[in-house]
Amino acid sequence: NGARDASEEGLPNITVFLDLNDDGFLDEDEPSTVTSQDLFYTPDVDEAGTYLFEKLAGGTYVVRQVLPDVLSATPTSERVKSVSLGPTDARRDIDSADRYRASEIHGVKFEDINGNGAHDSGEPGLNGVTIFLDLNRDNIFDADVEPWTTTAADGSYEFLGLASGAYVVREVVPLGFVQTFPATLGGILWPEGSSNPVVGNVSPSLIQASLAQGETLTQSVSLTLPTTGALTDMVDVFLLFDDTGSFRFNSPIVRAAFPNIISELQTRLPGIDLGFGVGRLEEYGGFAAEYTTGRPFVLNQPVISSSATGYTDAEVLASIQAALDREAPGYGGDRPETVIEALYQMVTGAGFDGNDNGSLLDSGAAGLASTQVTPGNSGDVPAFASFVPDIGNNVLAPSGTIGGAGFRSGALPIIITATDTGFAYQPKGESSITGIDGLTLPTSSITHNGRGTTPFNNGAGIQETVTGLNALGALVIGLGTTDAASSDPRIGLESLASLTGAINRTTNTIANGTADDIAPGDPFYFKIGSGGDPLVFNISDGIVAAIEGAVTAVNVNVTLRASDPRVHIAFTPDVLTGLGAGDTATFDVTFTGDGRPHRFDLQFVREGTDVVLGSIPVVLGTPIVGDGYEFEECDDGIISFESNFGNQRVADFILSSRSLTVAEGGSQDFSVQLAAPPVAPITVAVSRTSGDSDITVAEDALLFTTDNWDIPQAVTVVAAEDGDTIDGSATITVSALGLTSVDVLASEVDNDTQGLLVTPTSL
């Protein structure tokens, strides 16, 4: 209807470009972008389908889309827009209403001559066979209400203009044939594959059911959080540290501590799949007093894991050590550092255009060692999407895809953040910052001794960064250089820890290198000593204790989700809040059948995050009556091919005998029935087609219908009395239009005796 209705979703991953020469093609030098997905780190905003061209001069622009085939039904008027811009205009209404093409199903009906269930070379198509969509899945052809077609001379058929959905395709097997393909069986269509194992202390351990379209199943499910051990089986630990001049004496301590932290975590958290990564922060390049080679965030090594599907322990340790050894070149010319921007980049992976020229890649692609240590003077942070591994320099591909550090889906991210001063940030008008569970702190608790300016006013804001961290489910643990709670960087780091829920939820006090240790309920903050300080190992122990406590003792809000977003579930309550060790989360979840088989995990997740606390494998089948069907899932714009059917030719008639003996003057019966039900009533002719005329049939026609096709009907063969003494014979033919005729040999046994034969020889 040309308007976006509430149920109509934005379309991500569509290429949009400015057709500067209006030739209808995307040329190499023309600006282009790709429409956005809905970004997880802005939970209150739906960005799906949005796009942006900025820094444009005034003028008229032709905006075009590069549409995939599935969107070929998009009207011409929506494919191209002409936009006039004044020097200061900002148009946010250049929308396009794209439309999916109708779905289609194509296939071939073939004669399976050798009966092997495959369409072999040389096997012909069968013409005139009825193919139908069994909408109610009852294995009955309802010609008045179900779409149907007949095959062409080559056996091909098609259904066009179909709505999105799942279809059961069937054939009406022609008389004289048996179906050899497909070999699907009636009953329950179950999903292919195997389920993931159970995660956590959940009940039940498996949900398996068959649901017809619209049918529902309500099941009580529960997760009991462990009293000991980790709340989740995946944890990603990322070290983000200041690499500026003022931090040069503390950097070696932090870098030396991280391998110890890794080793201790692997020892203390057995059975937990641990991932590790490293990044650095300096300042915005060429801004304030920073050197031109500085950058607000450098990704040295995204998260990598030595899990069964990841790297070896040796590969992880070697890569992390190489990342720790690569020093950034900016050195940090002024005091406020870019902790906020660095955290924002870790959450979003968006990149930062340091010189405002429209490119994020002036310093190189993410991942390359050259990008890390010789970036040039642009100040750019490349988007995470540009990442390429640099194997020669031990930069490995990430084990995950989330955010700007390659966090793994379902893992609990923990970001150890180390700096020695206040934070640079972009003011967004906030007077307070809201964090996890509604905790609110004054903005001043984070801006203390900071700087509220960023290049071109494009830097990250505090609230959007905290919101993103909580959407990621990340805990921020602070490492600073001051004792006093009111001094920077402690005040800012403790505020970030509190706002992300990184607080001591154990009953133990944790030493942090200050006179004010971390009591139960306090945020995680540790003091770093000066260069060469032996506290390196104490800090390592304290951080390990903090991470161990965060993983095992954090209070969580729990909700449910299906790992397959296509599956519709509803559950009550929506969320259970404040659950701690040993608590049980119980939900009543309702599954609604959509006519398709599904295999997925019902996941217990930390509310608003991707952190999985437990999961139950779910297997949903769908009932389909009758064998020999094709099941086609025709999602938006999908065209299905190879929905084929194979038949092998068999006798059209079943006869009780193909030969019989009839005494002269007597009769003998044989029976006839059809080999398969007819589409419509059919008349079968029975007649003598050759041989002795004394042999006849009493019935010259038999009527078969869908009700009696398999009931034998008798045919009586009669041999008339005659005066000869010769045994006669005749061929009786059974035939019908379109069927292969069958012959029956009838032999007469003569009953006349031989008399005296006189042959005159003379008179």
State pLDDT tens for residues 212-261.
999 999 999 999 988 766 677 789 999 999 988 888 778 888 888 899 88
**Residue 561 CB coordination number (10 Å):** 18
Residue 758: inside a domain:
no
Domain span holding position 73:
15-85
Write out the two tokens for 560. Answer: 């449910």
Element at 670 (helix H, strand E): strand 667-674
**Residue 479, strand partner residues:** 418, 526
Residue type, 736: A
Are 632 and 736 members of one domain? Answer: no
> Which of 204, 371, 379, 214 has its CA nearest to residue 301?
371
Confidence (pLDDT) at 533: 47
Are 632 and 669 members of one domain? Answer: no
Name the phi and psi angles at 414, rounded to 5. -125, 120
Confidence (pLDDT) at 315: 94
566: domain CATH number?
A: 2.60.40.2310
Rounded CA separation 558/119 (Å): 52
The SS3 of residue 717 is strand
Mean pLDDT over all residues of the chain?
91
Query: How many structural domains does the chain have?
Result: 5
Are 536 and 577 members of one domain? Answer: no
Are 289 and 418 members of one domain? Answer: yes
> Which of 276, 275, 294 has its CA nearest to residue 284?
294
Are 379 and 316 members of one domain? Answer: yes
**Sign, Cα dihedral of 171, 174, 179, 180:** negative
Write out the two tokens for 341. Answer: 């921007």
pLDDT tens figures, 663-708: 999 999 999 999 878 888 999 999 999 999 999 999 889 999 999 9
Asked whether the beta carbons of 462 and 447 are under 8 A apart, the reply is: yes
Residue 239: inside a domain:
yes
Residue 291: inside a domain:
yes
Asked whether the beta carbons of 286 and 366 are under 8 A apart, the reply is: no
Residue 10: inside a domain:
no
Rounded CA separation 261/278 (Å): 13
Instruction: Please give the C-alpha separations between residue 565 and each of 10, 24, 46, 221, 597, in angstroms, as whole numbers.
Output: 16, 36, 16, 19, 14
Confidence (pLDDT) at 508: 87
Q: Where does 468-575 show beta strands of DSSP type E? A: 475-480, 525-527, 556-562, 569-572
Packing angle of the helix pair 462-472, 339-348 (nearest 10 deg) = 40
Instruction: Please give the C-alpha separations between residue 491 and each of 482, 487, 497, in angstroms, as whole numbers.
Output: 9, 6, 10
Residue 657: inside a domain:
yes
Rounded CA separation 312/320 (Å): 12
Write out the two tokens for 154. Answer: 């080559």
Residue 2: inside a domain:
no
Torsion angle (degrees, nearest 10) of CA 544, 545, 548, 551: -110
Rounded CA separation 574/607 (Å): 10
> Which of 77, 72, 62 has its CA nearest to residue 103?
72
130: domain CATH number?
A: 2.60.40.10
The number of residues making up the chain comes to 763
Confidence (pLDDT) at 538: 57
- Of 622, 640, 666, the residue that ends a domain is 622
Please report which residue ranges of 269-415 form alpha helices under DSSP H: 313-325, 339-348, 369-373
Write out the two tokens for 320. Answer: 């992390």
The SS3 of residue 493 is helix
- Of 649, 684, 701, the residue that ends a domain is 649
**Residue 81, strand partner residues:** 63
Rounded CA separation 491/304 (Å): 31
Low-confidence residues in the chain, pLDDT < 70: 228-230, 308-309, 328-334, 529-539, 553-554, 752-759, 762-763
Write out the two tokens for 158. Answer: 């098609």
Residue 762: inside a domain:
no
Q: What share of the chain is helix, strand, coil (3-state, %, to 5)?
A: 15, 35, 50
Residue 194: inside a domain:
no
Are 522 and 387 members of one domain? Answer: yes
Are 72 and 134 members of one domain? Answer: no
Are 585 and 724 members of one domain? Answer: no
Are 307 and 271 members of one domain? Answer: yes
Largest Cα span, the chain: 160
Asked whether the beta carbons of 460 and 284 are under 8 A apart, the reply is: no
- Of 534, 553, 572, the residue that ends a domain is 553
Confidence (pLDDT) at 752: 67
Are 585 and 463 members of one domain? Answer: no
pTM of this structure: 0.76
Are 612 and 657 members of one domain? Answer: no
Asked whether the beta carbons of 98 and 74 are under 8 A apart, the reply is: yes
**Residue 620 CB coordination number (10 Å):** 24
Query: Cα 80 vs. chain centroid, distance in angstroms?
Result: 31
Asked whether the beta carbons of 311 and 305 are under 8 A apart, the reply is: yes
Are 538 and 478 members of one domain? Answer: yes
